[in-house]
Amino acid sequence: MFRYALKRLGLGAVIITVALMMLFAMVYLIPGDPASVALGPRATPAMIADLRARMGLDQPIWRQFLHFYGSVLRGDLGTEVLSNRPVFDVVMEQLPFTLILVLGGISWSVALGIPLGCIAAVRRGGFVDRVIGVMSVAMIAVPSFVVAIYSLLVFAVALQWLPAIGAGEPGNLSSRLLHLILPSLAVGLGWIGYISRMVRASMLETLEASHIRTARAFGLPERRIIYTYALRIAVLPTITLLGVGIGQMLSSSVFAEIVFARPGIGKLVYEAISTRNYPIVSGAVLVTTVFFVLVNVAADILVGTLDPRVRASFN
């Protein structure tokens, strides 16, 4: 088990390194000269040369990358152009808002997806199964930003049941939760569909397994068989799926944050783009990417712990 976890972590580290190289290539090499961009059109050549030297842009590329990589490992993502604050701090300030949003999305998808998948599997082939199937596909297909805007229109503007703007008053839990309902639904809706399909499929598989047949032979009540014995195994594949899901929800949260004017990473990057604040953009993308890779590694290790077959197939 330990070797599996170590291998998976090692692969994660390699992927992060390659991703960092790409980000470095994109942000530092393509858009012309970052020094003249940072200083604006009225900078003198002497000022640009000075900043270039301070940013290390006069060094060979491989040294620049090593330097970049080293400072990223130390948590130093550079300083923001406008306020002169460390990028890392600015990003970390916004990260909790986005994480709570993603967590809300996961809650919706797990709380509704698992029961729906279960019901569909139990009623296999029936009318209820078909309805749940179509609903799941529809939830997956419709883009989250349309869900966000339409739910804003219906529940916040027309019916005025829920607040439309912001993340709620700091320290006021009920206000925070109220402000979380619509954005997190927009983020998690597609994953209700994914999870219900996944649970249905693996539930059908599990119900054929021999230990379930044994439980049936012992005359255990069907309800108990399904909800205690089968479901426990059928939920496993969803954990890996959630690893991927978090990445997609991070993407959807950009839209949710903009539509509902919530603070968060997505809104931060979006606003940084319009002000051409490159360090913020690359810093935020970097943090979310590293976070995403780590979540996937964690999900894989968790599934490996729970299911020895996965560990074996990785070798």
Q: Which residues bind other proteins (CB under 8 A)?
A: 14-16, 18-19, 22-23, 26-27, 30-31, 134, 137-138, 140-143, 145-146, 149-150, 152-153, 157-158, 197, 201, 247-248, 250-252, 254-255, 258-259, 266, 269-270, 273, 276, 278, 281-282, 284-285, 288-289, 292-293, 296
Q: What tokens appear for 277 in the block?
A: 């604040």
Task: Give the integer Cα–Cα distance in Å for 113 and 190.
Answer: 10
Smaller CB separation from other proteins, 206 or 215: 206
Q: How far is CA 244 from CA 19, 87, 128, 261, 293, in A?
A: 17, 27, 28, 25, 9
Nearer to other proteins, 22 or 61 (CB): 22
Backbone angles phi, psi at 83, to 5 degrees: -100, -5
Q: Which two tokens stand for residue 241?
A: 């799926």
Residue (104 or 215) nearer to other proteins, CB: 104
Instruction: State how far the alpha carbon of 219 is from the alpha carbons of 122, 225, 230, 243, in Å.
Output: 18, 10, 15, 37
Query: Closest separation between CB of residue 113 and other proteins, Å?
Result: 15
Identity of the residue, 174 or 274, whose beta carbon is nearer to other proteins in the bound complex: 274
For residue 221, the minimal CB distance to other proteins (Å) is: 29
Nearer to other proteins, 49 or 258 (CB): 258
The least distance separating other proteins from the CB of residue 308, rounded to whole angstroms, comes to: 22
Query: Cα-flanking dihedrals φ and ψ of residue 155, to 5°?
Result: -85, -25
Q: Which CB sits closer to other proteins, 16 or 225?
A: 16
Cβ 262 to other proteins, closest distance in Å? 15
Least gap, CB of 91 to other proteins (angstroms) = 12
Residue count of the chain: 315
Q: What whole-number distance in Å separates Cα of residue 254 and Cα of residue 250?
A: 7
Helices H, strands E: what count in the chain?
Answer: 15, 0
**What is the Cα–Cα distance from 292 to 24, expressed in whole angstroms?**
18
CB of 160 to other proteins, least distance (A): 11
